[in-house]
Amino acid sequence: MAKMSSVWNEDAGLPHFGRVEGDIKTDVLIIGGGMAGILCAYFLQQKGIDYVLVERDRICSGVTGNTTAKITSQHGLIYHKMLRNIGAEKTRMYLDANQKAVHRYKKLCREADCDFEMKTAYVYSRNDREKLEEEADALSRIGFHTQMSEALELPFQTAGAIGFAEQAQFHPIKFINRIVQGLHIYEDTFVKELTEDTAVTEKGSIVFERLIVATHFPMDNKHGLYSLKMYQNRSYVIALEHALQMDGMYIDEDSDGLSFRSYKDYLFIGGGSHRTGKKSKNWEELRNCARLYYPGSEEKYYWAAQDCMTLDGIPYIGAYSRNMPGCYVAAGFNKWGMTSAMVSAMILTDMILEKENPYAPVFKPSRNMIKPQLFINGCQTMAGLLTLSSKRCPHMGCVLKWNKAEHSWDCPCHGSRFDGFGKLLDNPANGDLGK
């Protein structure tokens, strides 16, 4: 019988860290113990900067533990859109930043037994080769040459695929297990209140000079307008045994399509993306695919991922808000969390060191936010506030929807989730129901 857990969480073996007890001081406080926060801590320690990282639960107990663990700058058919929207220079900067992230992982993984493998990442189309050619042309115009392929490893006909060579995949928890050794981390440390220079926890306080918020969805609701600038998506993964193995990593250019990649003896099939809090088929589409194309396979694991989506498909990395000096944010990774976490750590480390980072302007959180998605997000929030229900999210008061498949209360406005007993599963809510 398949187990509802990601493959990564089965043999995590992560060390335990104590909680904050009493009052402490630090130059830099990092809130959030996922990949982005831990990489920030790792780089700051390498630079000799005084820092502390706090996590309300266990490190990597949230989004990082449910990734598909692809390390790539191939983020779907995005580059021709970027070229049109932000110009060639910034599009090239976005690509270069992510390519540097891939290479940084490659270097770090030499010292970590984390199943790191170089792979070609493909985006395929079921029926529109013209889209692929348009993307290849855009990439060529910014000096990046791709491979056109017929995607023969996939179990169905396609119109072709574009490949990025020298991308990668790994076991994220094994990687984290290696780099957290010796880091200044506190677990089970819930930040109840945040002032200009102090984080108040349940058992003490942390006085800081600068702050990095790496909590997936930014926790401060008063500044930066992140509740309007982002929404959250859920998507689903199954891990099959006895299915055909693939050498490449594949994703459909259609947001409703499927992704495929292999890890050891497993084939991962991902998809079913939808806005958190909305009705969906959950894992049904993936299981139908497995029955149709891999009839002799056996499902061993299944899990869901949660992703913050930005207005323009580019993460928010940099100054949290003009009204919060010395505070930085890493959020909105648009389903590409592993690479974006590394980009965040590289940029934010430079900012802490007061060193100019050449890629920072592309990811600036205060960039123009007048996009169609802004209107959609605003309308969804209004609908959630005006709907009558006794179950409401403590974040901003939106109605909660019962997720029958995952036995959780989900917020369709901003993506907070709670288990059946009201315990917080996913932010931006900063506490349990009824508290």
Q: What is the pLDDT along the chain (435 residues), one digit of tens a residue?
A: 889 899 998 866 899 999 999 999 999 999 999 999 999 999 999 999 999 999 999 999 889 999 999 999 999 999 999 999 999 999 999 999 999 999 999 999 998 999 999 999 999 999 999 999 999 999 999 999 898 898 789 999 999 999 999 999 999 999 999 999 999 999 999 999 898 899 999 999 999 999 999 999 998 878 888 998 999 999 999 999 999 999 999 999 998 899 999 999 999 999 999 999 988 889 999 999 999 999 999 999 999 999 999 999 999 999 999 989 999 999 999 999 999 999 999 999 999 999 999 999 999 999 977 777 877 877 877 777 767 667 888 888 889 999 998 999 999 999 999 999 999 999 998 889 875
Q: How many helices (H) and strands (E) does the chain have?
A: 10, 22
Instruction: Quote the pLDDT of residue 434.
Output: 76
The whole-angstrom separation of Cα 325 and Cα 309 is: 25
For the domain with range 372-426, which CATH number is right: 3.40.50.300, 3.40.50.1370, 1.50.10.10, 2.102.10.10? 2.102.10.10
Instruction: Quote the pLDDT of residue 394.
Output: 87
Q: State the sign of the Cα–Cα–Cα–Cα dihedral 200, 204, 209, 215.
A: negative
Please state the length of the chain.
Answer: 435
* DSSP character string of 211-227: EEE-SSS-S-SSSTTHH
349 contacts 357 by C-beta, under 8 angstroms = no
Could you give the dihedral angle defined by the CA atoms of residues 116, 121, 126 and 129, in that order, rounded to the nearest 10 degrees? -170
3-class state of residue 189 by DSSP: coil
Domains of the chain: which residue ranges?
A: 372-426
Instruction: Quote the pLDDT of residue 92.
Output: 98
Instruction: Quote the pLDDT of residue 30.
Output: 98
Residue in the block written with tokens 């130059």: 27
